[in-house]
Every structure is written in structure tokens, then in C-alpha cells.
Structure 1
Amino acid sequence: MKSSRLLSIILLLQARGRMTAAQLAGELEVSVRTVYRDVEALHAAGVPLYGDAGHSGGYRLLAGYRTRLTGLNAAEAEALFLAGVPGPAAQLGLGQDLAAAQLKLRAALPPELREQADRMRARFHLDAPGWYAADDDLRFLPRVADAVWRGRVLDVRYRRWKEPTDVERRLAPYGLVLKAGRWYVVAAADPGAEPRTYRVDQILELAVREEEFTPPGDFDLAAHWRRHQEDFHARLHRGEAVVRLSPRGASGLDGAAARALAATGVTEPDGWIRATLPVESLEHAHRTFLALGVDAEVLEPPELRARLAETSRALAARYAAC
């Protein structure tokens, strides 16, 4: 709706200062021409909005002007309360601050929005970690978060999976990421080096330096994490296996295997599905397809098929004595 969009322009300029018409159009997902028309409407309504020409120009509000409107609708109020996940906030040492902020937000809402937000919080609970995830050692998380926020360099002793396992690192932190209940710090080990990803629960010792660090102005944490995930999955699934799956076996796949099944699967006359699936390693593929039992048959690669046949013979011999 136009009224909602006009309010969004005011709030964006209030929060960010000067913005160009192109930047506003990108945020609002409208054309630049639409932004021009909206700005004219705001001028007509008396909003002290000014435009500056030139390379560093853009729209801005008169200094000191602030709207007291929040512009929240019912869905936005519900989303704010749903987004306030108490577990990660408590891990960062912000549990009480989150509760206080939610209390203030609730008190500021009109009665009808307050009722809907309360219903959302009562009926939905977000618990991101998996059932069998062990509790991570997060005693250093608040200090890492503080260093990220204040731009301070860290000295850490870090445990990694390969030899030598325990290493000393000087880390310039770019940001923190919470993925599937696990915290990661994105940091560069040397000035000017590409940032890498470190698990916070694998930090064994930590000292915060007074040395300051500011990430490059063009660094985008969310974009970096997306690229990291894409690279991870590309490295993870380096091989392929041609398999036949029963309908029950096919229903047991998820993630990359399920996507590959949908893309390459061909149903044969007996009802089984032939597909090419990504595999992480021979060892991992052996465990995966062995778990599917009689609902899967590996056709290629030959070494994987031979290893599964050998395991099957060993199992048959073991249970034949019963």
C-alpha cells in the first residue's frame, strides 16, 4: 500500500540518513520513478524532506526531525516477538535485555496488536539445535561478541580437527554467526588475510587485546556466510553414486541427496527409482546406503558396490549362526 511505503521512506531516512532514489527503490522493491512520486507526496504532506543533487547527493530529513509513528502492522508485531529467540540472546549475555525490550515493545503496542503478538508468542516456540546436539562450551562467547562489537583483536588457543590440533592464533574478528545452534566467529588470522570460520566452542583460551580492528567497509557478513556455505557443500560432495531406490528408500533421503533424486531420478518398470546422488566420501557413502538396507542398491562406483557387498556377506554370516 502507498501509505505504508511512504512511512517506510521516512523510517529509512530516519534510520540511515541520506539515501539516493536508487537506494530507496532497492529497499522498497519499486521503481525509481515510484520513489520520485512518493517523495512529492511527502513534500505535499509537509514532511521536511530534502533532496541534494550531485555525486554525493540524495534525500534526507531535516536535522532533528523524527516521526513518533512505528508503522507496525499486525504481521510485523507478531514477527518481532517470534524473532526474539531467548536461547541465543542468553548465550550472548543479553537475555535480560531481550526480555526488557520485548516488555517495552509490548507496552507500546495498541491493544489489538498486543493481543495478536501475545498469541503468536504463546503458540510458537523456536528451538533451533537438533535433538542430539551436545551442549557446546560457550564460556568465551560473551567476550568474543564484545570483541566483535568493539572491534578488538583476539589472541586464542584453538582446537582444530587436524594435526597439530591445538594452535595459537591472532584473530581479527569480522562477525558472529549462529548456524543450527552452533556459534561461529568469522575472523582473519593475519592482517589483510581472507577471513575464515572458527567454532567458538573450540576456543580453549582467549585474551582480548587493546589493538583495534575495523572490517573493510565493503565486507558483508551475510554474503560472506552464503559463499562459505556454498564452498563447503561444493567441497563436501565431491563424488557421485548411481543407485536404485525403492519408494521407501527414496522417501528416506533428505538435503542434497533428495534434491539430486528429484533432478535425476527415473522411475523404472518395477517401481524403483534410478538416480545419481552426490556422496561425501567412500566411507560416508558406505554408512549412508548401508542404513537404507534392502531399499537401496548401489550400481556405481564399483568400489562402493564391492564394499557394500562385502559388508552384507559379513552380516549374513554373523546372523546365520543365530
Structure 2
Amino acid sequence: MEPTHLETIRAAVLGSYQLDILYPSSSCSKFTGTGVLWRRIEPYGLVFKGLSRRHIRTGRWYLVAFCQCCQSFHTLRVSDIEQVYVREELTTPRPDFDLHAYWREARKQLEKQHPPISLKLHVTANARYSALHGDVNVLKENADGGAIVQVNVESLDDAISYALGLGADATVLEPSQVRVAVAATAHAIAEIYG
């Protein structure tokens, strides 16, 4: 699923228009508070950080932008942008800025801060052959067609969503924090419908 403001941001990048965005303040070095903050930015590129997948493309969109407040480049997660307004002012050309080189380094930092989560599941034959998506490694096959599988996902939230999406056709084996979160969510859902 694409982030809410992706098309607006893409148009601003292509048109070289500045943006005002409502974004978590922790990414701006000039602001020490918590919460969200309006920021004027100059967008220089949209990049997609994906995970290796066989059949689908999964990952996150990031905006590489120059923040006018702190006068530096930032990598902003598009899905974290709460509101966006396109301005009439154009971005300032920065001929010394290399988007590819910047993204190569930013990606390394993102992977250090948020390494992929390896999700280990026991799945039924139904899930194995119809519901699993992505680059699934079969660790052990069962006689009934089910299997123990491993799937890499980008975050804890993605792991929980992935497991819940399989419903009763999957049991989370590892990591334990995903197993606990899925169980708690399933219990809360059962109470709503109970």
C-alpha cells in the first residue's frame, strides 16, 4: 500500500517545488522537543528501500530533502508525513549534491538502525501454497503439506501485520515479541467480536 501523500510528493520532486510538511520533530537538529513540527523542505528525490522478494515488491518510500530549518539533508519516511502542502517556490539547485551517493550512505545507516526482522512461522498447506507472499524460505516440510518457513520483513509492525494476515493458517514461532503481539491482537479482536 502506498503512503497517503506519495503522489503529491512525487509531483513536487518532479516539478522542483518546495514543500511544507508536518513531520516528527526528532529528525530536525534545530528542534529539541517531541511531537510533530511543520518544516519547509526542498525535495530532491524519492527512493524506495525494498526487501528482496520473489513475487511482490515490499518496502518503504523515503524522501531525500534539504531542511531549510537546520540547513541539512535528511532522509524522511514518507509514511510518517502527516500533512503536506506544495509551495510555489522552487527548490534551490545544488549541483554538488549527489542523490545516489547520499542514498547509498543513508541506506547503510537505516539498515544499522532498523535491521530486517526474520519471522519464523509454522504454516498450514493452505497458507503455504496460497497465502504466503514475498521471499519465503522453507526450513522444514511437513507430511501434511504444511511447513516451517522464514520470512524477512522490514519492521516489528510489518512482522505483526504479516502474521495476522495469514490468520489461523500460521503460528508465529520466532521472534517472541512478534508471537506475544500477535496473540494479544488476536485476543483483542476475539473480545470485540465475542
Fold agreement, TM-score > 0.5: yes
- Normalised-by-shorter TM-score class: 0.5 to 0.7
Specify which of 155, 165, 170 is matched with residue 36 of structure 2. 165
Asked if 2 retains the 8 angstrom alpha-carbon contact of 1:178 and 1:184, the reply is yes
Answer 1 or 2: higher relative contact order, Cα 8 Å, separation at least 6: 2
Give me the whole-angstrom Cα distance separating, in 1, the residues matched to 2:117 and 2:102. Answer: 25
Name the residue aligned to 2:140: 266
What pairs up with 1:1-322 in 2 under 5 angstroms?
Answer: 138=8, 141=11, 145-147=14-16, 154=18, 156-161=19-24, 163-169=34-40, 171=42, 173=43, 175-177=44-46, 186-189=64-67, 193-197=72-76, 202-204=83-85, 206=87, 208=89, 212-216=92-96, 219=98, 221-222=99-100, 224-225=102-103, 238-250=116-128, 251-254=130-133, 258-259=134-135, 261-262=136-137, 265-279=139-153, 280-281=155-156, 283-309=157-183, 312=186
Change (3 A) 1:138 1:290: closer
Name the residue aligned to 2:51: none
Q: What amino acid maps onto 2:38 in structure 1? A: V
Give me the whole-angstrom Cα distance separating, in 2, the residues matched to 1:227 and 1:316. Answer: 45
Change (3 A) 1:147 1:201: farther
Give me the whole-angstrom Cα distance separating, in 1, the residues matched to 2:75 and 2:159. Answer: 28
In our comparison, the structure showing a higher alpha carbon Rg is 1
Deviation at 1:243, TM superposition (A): 1.2
Unaligned runs of 5+ in 1: 1-129, 149-153
Unaligned runs of 5+ in 2: 26-33, 49-56
Change (3 A) 1:185 1:291: closer
Whose strand proportion is higher, 1 or 2? 2
Deviation at 1:298, TM superposition (A): 1.4
Asked if 2 retains the 8 angstrom alpha-carbon contact of 1:159 and 1:204, the reply is no
Give me the whole-angstrom Cα distance separating, in 1, the residues matched to 2:148 and 2:20. Answer: 48
The number of aligned residues is 170
Asked if 1 retains the 8 angstrom alpha-carbon contact of 2:119 and 2:150, the reply is yes
Give me the whole-angstrom Cα distance separating, in 1, the residues matched to 2:11 and 2:169. Answer: 44
Whose helix proportion is higher, 1 or 2? 1
Give me the whole-angstrom Cα distance separating, in 1, the residues matched to 2:39 and 2:5. Answer: 24
Give me the whole-angstrom Cα distance separating, in 1, the residues matched to 2:181 and 2:62. Answer: 37
Deviation at 1:309, TM superposition (A): 4.2
Query: Percent same amino acid among aligned pairs?
Result: 20
